[in-house]
Structure 1
Amino acid sequence: MTEFLDFLNNLTNPDWIVAHGGLYLLLFIVFAETGILVGFFLPGDPILFIAGIIIANLTLEPVDSVLTLLYWIALISAAGILGNFVGYWCGKYFGHRLLKMKDNWLFKKEYIYKAQEFYERRGGMAIILARFLPVVRTFAPIVAGIVEMDFRKFAFYNVVGGILWVGSLATLGYMLGENEWVQHNLEYVILAIVVAATAPVIIRVITGKRKTVAAVAEPEMLEEE
Structure 2
Amino acid sequence: MFEWITNLINQAGYAGIAFIMFLESVFPPIPSWLVMPLAGFEASSGRFHPLAVVLAGATGSTIGAIVWFYIGRMVGVERLKSFAARHGHWITLTPAQIDRADRWFDRHGAPAVMFARVVPIVRTFISVPAGVFDMNLRRFILFTLIGDIMWSGLLVTAGYVLRAQYDQVRDYLSPIATIVLTIVVATYLIRLIGWKKD
Cα distance in 1 between the residues matched to 2:31 and 2:100: 28
Q: Of the candidates 76, 80, 86, which is equivalent to residue 98 of structure 1?
A: 80
Task: Check if 1:125 corresponds to 2:107.
Answer: no
Asked whether the equivalents of residues 17 and 53 of structure 2 are also in contact (C-alpha less than 8 Å), the reply is no
The one-letter amino acid paired with 1:56 is S
Does the CA-based 8 Å contact 1:31-1:82 persist in structure 2? yes
Q: Is the 8 A contact 1:40 1:134 kept in 2?
A: no
Q: How much does 1:92 deviate?
A: 0.9
Selected match of 1:69 from 50, 56, 63: 50
Query: What residue ranges of structure 2 are gaps of 5+ in the alignment?
Result: 182-198
In 2, are the aligned partners of 1:48 and 1:173 still within 8 Å (CA)? Answer: yes
Deviations 1:58-100 (A, max 9, x none): 4x5xxxx5xx222222222211222222322221122243333
Matched, 1:192 2:172: yes
Deviations 1:12-62 (A, max 9, x none): x74x4545655444322211232x3xx02210122111110122234x5xx
Cα pair 2:37 2:169 within 8 Å, conserved: no
Partner of 1:52: 40
The structural deviation recorded for 1:156 is 2.8
Q: Which has the larger radius of gyration?
A: 1
1:1-225 pair list within 5 angstroms: 7=1, 9-10=2-3, 14=6, 16-18=7-9, 21-34=12-25, 36=26, 39-58=27-46, 68-95=49-76, 96-101=78-83, 102-110=86-94, 112-113=98-99, 115-177=101-163, 179=164, 182=165, 186=167, 188-194=168-174
Deviation string, structure 1 residues 105-136 (Cα, Å, up to 9, x no partner): 42254364454244234222211221122221
What is the TM-score when the length of structure 1 is the normalising length? 0.63
Q: Percent identity?
A: 26
Tell me, in whole angstroms, the C-alpha distance in 2 between the residues paired with 1:191 and 1:117: 39
Offset of 1:141 from its aligned partner?
0.8
3-state SS, counterpart of residue 47 of structure 1:
helix
Whole-Å separation in 1 of the counterparts to 2:87 and 2:155:
40
Deviation at 1:145, TM superposition (A): 0.6
Supply the distance in 1 between the matched residues of 2:29 and 2:98 (Cα, whole angstroms). 23
In structure 2, distance between residues paired with 1:40 and 1:112: 25
Q: Which runs of 5+ in 1 are unaligned?
A: 1-6, 203-225
CA distance in 2, matches of 1:160, 1:19: 26
Distance 2:61 2:112 in 1: 16
Q: 1:22 and 1:155, CA in 2 relative to 1: closer, same or farther beyond 3 A?
A: closer
User: Do the aligned residues in 2 keep the contact of 1:133 with 1:198 (CA within 8 Å)?
Assistant: no
Distance across 1 between alignment mates of 2:93 and 2:74: 17
Find the aligned partners of 2:159 and 2:133 in 1 and give their Cα distance.
Answer: 36
Query: What is the Cα-based RMSD across aligned positions, in Å?
Result: 3.2
1:151-182 Cα deviation digits (max 9, x unpaired): 343233122112111122112211221x5xx1
